[in-house]
Amino acid sequence: MINDWIGQAAADRGDAPYLQDAAGAGTLTYAGLRRSTQAWARCLDRTGLPPGARVAVRVPDPLGYATALVSILGAGRVVVPLDPAAPAAEAARVLAVARPEAALGEYGSGLPPGLAVLRPPDVPDRPEGPNGPGACPDTEHPVSPAGASRGSGSGGIFLCTSGTTGTPKGIVLGEDRLSHVAAAVASHHRLTPADRGYCCLPLFHVNAEVVGLLATLAARACLVLDRKFSRRGFWALIAAQRITWINAVPAIITVLAMDPPATPPLATGAPATPPLATPAHGRVRFVRSASAPLPPSALRRFEEAFGIPVIETYGMTEAASMITANPLDGPRKAGSAGLPAGTEVRVVRRAGSRYVACPACTVGRVQIRGRGVIREYAEGGPAGAIDPAGWLDTGDLGHLDQDGYLFLAGRSDDVINRGGEKIYPREIEEFLLAQPGVRSAAVVAAHDEVLGERPVAYVVPAGPWRRDELADALRGTARRGGG
C-alpha cells in the first residue's frame, strides 16, 4: 500500500523533491525514495527478515531518519522509531517492549543479544547528496537468510506510549491505518504537489510520521525537515524555503506570539484572517497545532500578529495521529479541537454497566473509533480500553457543542475533587494565560484537610511583576467575574 504510493509518486513526480533538509544538507526526490525502498527491500530479504518483521531505527540526522523510516515501511516491514538522543537505558526499555528482529543506528551496548545490526543499503544512482541513505551493503550480525520477499501491506510502525500511567503500551499501526489517516490529513489540509511543509517535530512520534511524512507522500508534496525549532531566524527560514504550511505544537506558536517582529512576515498588508481557498504561492496558508492544548489567548495573539490562521487539532498514537481538526473553511473555534476528521467521536457518561451519550455542552469521557483507531494493544494495554464495538476510551474529558465541535477539559485522572465539586485544571489555566501578566501557568491538586483537594496554580510572570502584586491582581480579576 505505502509501496504503491511510493511507486505512483515516483512515476508522476520523478525528480521533484519529497524531503529536504532545512539547512540545505540534502534532498530526497521521489525517484530517490523509490530506489531507497527497493534497496531496503533487497537488503532485508537478503538478511532474512520477512514481511512484517520489526526493525528499530535510531538515526541522528532527520533526513536520514525519515528516508530509512519511509523506505523500510514501504519495503513491508514494521519500523520501531527510537529517540536518537535518548539515554541507552530508555532505548533498551522500548526495545524490550517492541522486541525487534533488527536495528539500524548507533546503540552502544544497549542492544539485546542476537539482534541483527543493519547498515543502510547501497542506493544506486542517487543524486541526493551526503546526508541521504548510507552506502554499507551488509549487516554486521546478519541472521540466517530465508529468501524472504516483500509483501504488500505488511508494513507498519510500532510505537510505545505511556499515557499518564507510566507503563509502556505497545501499539502497532499497520499500513491500512497509516494510509487512511495520512490521506485524511492530506485531504483536510488540502495538500497538493505545490505545497511545501515545514516540520521540526521529532520523527519518533506519530505526528511527524503520519501528518508530516506520510500525508506529504499521499499529496506528492514536499516536506522540509529541521533538527529543532529556533525562534531566531525562524521566519527568514520559512520565507527562504517557500513554506506553505507549518506542522507545529502549542509551545512553538506561543513562543512566536510572545515576540512578533515589527513587520509581520509573509503577510504584509494582509487582513488579520486571510482567505484560505486561494493561497498565494510561497505563502504560509496555515499553522497546524497538535499534541497539546493551545491556550485561546496564544492563538489570538499569533493570528493578530501574523495574519496566518491556526488550525487546532486533536490526536493520539492509538488513532494514528489526527482525530479532530478545525476546518480550513467555516468557523474555527478558539479552544476547540475541531470536528471529527475521518474518526467517529462521542462523549459519554457511565450509566450502570453501560455508557450513554452526554447532551451537548456536557462534560464526559471522550471515546473514538474508526479505520484509523486500533482494535487492541500489541503490548501492555489496559483492560477494557476498547469495547467490542470498537470504541476506545481516550482517557480525556471534554464536551461536544451544538455544532459538533470538540472541547477538551483535561485528563480523567487530572480532575480535582474539591468537596464533591469537579474542577478541571485546564479551565483555570486558560483563565490565567489570558491575563496580561502571565507568561505560563499550571494547575495541580493539593491536599485539603476539609475538602479533600483544592487547586493550586503555579504561574510564571510576564514582565517586571512582583509575585505578591501579580497574585493580588489575579485574585481581584477572578473575584470581579473575570474567571
67-71, 131-135, 347-351, range with the lowest pLDDT: 131-135
Residues 118 and 180 in one domain: yes
Which of 169, 191, 225 is the last residue in one of the domains?
Answer: 225
Evaluate whether 160 touches 170 at the Cβ level (below 8 Å): yes
Per-residue pLDDT tens digits for 261-305: 655 555 444 444 444 333 333 489 999 999 888 988 899 999 999
Give residue 125's pLDDT: 66
Query: Hey, CA dihedral for 295, 296, 300, 301, is it positive or negative?
Result: negative
Does a structural domain hold residue 99?
A: yes
Query: Hey, CA dihedral for 353, 355, 358, 363, is it positive or negative?
Result: positive
Average pLDDT over residues 250-264: 80
Give residue 106's pLDDT: 81
Confidence at 466, pLDDT banded by 50, 70, 90? confident
Average pLDDT over residues 250-254: 92
Which one is predicted more confidently, 307 or 412? 307
CA nearest neighbour of 211 among 315, 133, 65, 284: 315
Which one is predicted more confidently, 144 or 222? 222
Does a structural domain hold residue 184?
A: yes
Give the CATH number of the domain where residue 461 resides: 3.30.300.30
pLDDT at 130 over 70: no
Strand partners, 197: 223, 245
Give residue 472's pLDDT: 78
Give residue 136's pLDDT: 37
Per-residue pLDDT tens digits for 200-212: 999 999 999 999 9
The C-alpha cell that represents 397 in the structure block = 474529558
CA nearest neighbour of 298 among 471, 432, 188: 432
Strand partners, 112: none
Mean pLDDT (the chain) is 84
Task: Check residue 339 and report its DSSP letter.
Answer: E
Evaluate whether 52 touches 88 at the Cβ level (below 8 Å): no
Average pLDDT over residues 139-155: 46
Which one is predicted more confidently, 320 or 151? 320
- Percent with pLDDT over 90 in the chain: 58
Residues 135 and 251 in one domain: no
89-98, 178-187, 334-343, 451-460, range with the lowest pLDDT: 451-460
Relative to beta strand 78-81, strand 54-58 is parallel
Does a structural domain hold residue 385?
A: no
Of 223-232, 280-289, 445-454, give the range with the top mean pLDDT.
223-232
Provide the residue range defining the domain that includes 319.
234-380+392-412
Burial class (CB in 10 A: 0-12, 13-18, 19+), 93: middle
pLDDT at 464 over 80: no
Does a structural domain hold residue 244?
A: yes
Residues 403 and 427 in one domain: no
Give residue 374's pLDDT: 96
Confidence at 114, pLDDT banded by 50, 70, 90? confident
Per-residue pLDDT tens digits for 317-376: 999 999 999 999 889 999 999 999 999 999 999 998 889 999 999 999 999 999 999 999
CA nearest neighbour of 71 among 150, 168, 130: 150
Per-residue pLDDT tens digits for 33-65: 999 999 999 999 999 999 999 999 999 999 999
Q: How distant is the alpha carbon of residue 62 from its chain centre? A: 15
73-77, 94-98, 318-322, 424-428, range with the lowest pLDDT: 424-428
Distant-in-sequence, close-in-space partners of 350: CB < 8 Å, separation ≥ 6: 365
Average pLDDT over residues 453-480: 78
Residues 471 and 361 in one domain: no
Confidence at 107, pLDDT banded by 50, 70, 90? confident
Which of 203, 225, 247 is the last residue in one of the domains?
Answer: 225
Residues 199 and 238 in one domain: no
Q: Alpha-carbon distance 15 to 193, whole Å?
A: 13
Does a structural domain hold residue 14?
A: yes
Give residue 193's pLDDT: 98
Residues 163 and 267 in one domain: no
Average pLDDT over residues 182-192: 97
- Percent with pLDDT over 70 in the chain: 84
pLDDT at 238 over 80: yes
Question: What are the φ and ψ backbone dihedral angles of 304, each rounded to 5 degrees?
Answer: -70, -35
Residues 195 and 283 in one domain: no
Average pLDDT over residues 140-164: 59
Does a structural domain hold residue 435?
A: yes
Residues 245 and 322 in one domain: yes
Give residue 265's pLDDT: 56
Residue owning grid cell 527478515: 49
Distant-in-sequence, close-in-space partners of 464: CB < 8 Å, separation ≥ 6: none
Give residue 29's pLDDT: 97
Query: Hey, CA dihedral for 380, 162, 378, 108, is it positive or negative?
Result: negative
For 363, the 3-state DSSP assignment is coil
Residues 404 and 425 in one domain: no
Per the structure, how many domains does the chain have?
3
Give the CATH number of the domain where residue 218 resides: 3.40.50.12780
Does a structural domain hold residue 387?
A: no
Segments of 358-451 assigned E as strands: 364-369, 392-400, 406-411, 416-418, 421-423, 438-448
Label residue 338 left, alpha or beta by phi (over 0 means left) and psi (-120 to 50 means alpha).
Answer: left
Residues 221 and 247 in one domain: no
Residues 258 and 212 in one domain: no
CA nearest neighbour of 433 among 469, 409, 406, 460: 460
pLDDT at 460 over 90: no
Residues 344 and 439 in one domain: no
What are the angstrom distances between the C-alpha of 304 and each of 264, 267, 307? 9, 11, 6
Does a structural domain hold residue 292?
A: yes
33-47, 141-155, 411-425, 447-461, range with the lowest pLDDT: 141-155
Query: DSSP characters for 81-112?
Result: E--TTS-HHHHHHHHHHH--SEEEE--TT-SP
State which amino acid sits at residue 320. A
Which of 197, 225, 253 is the last residue in one of the domains?
Answer: 225
Relative to beta strand 222-225, strand 17-21 is parallel
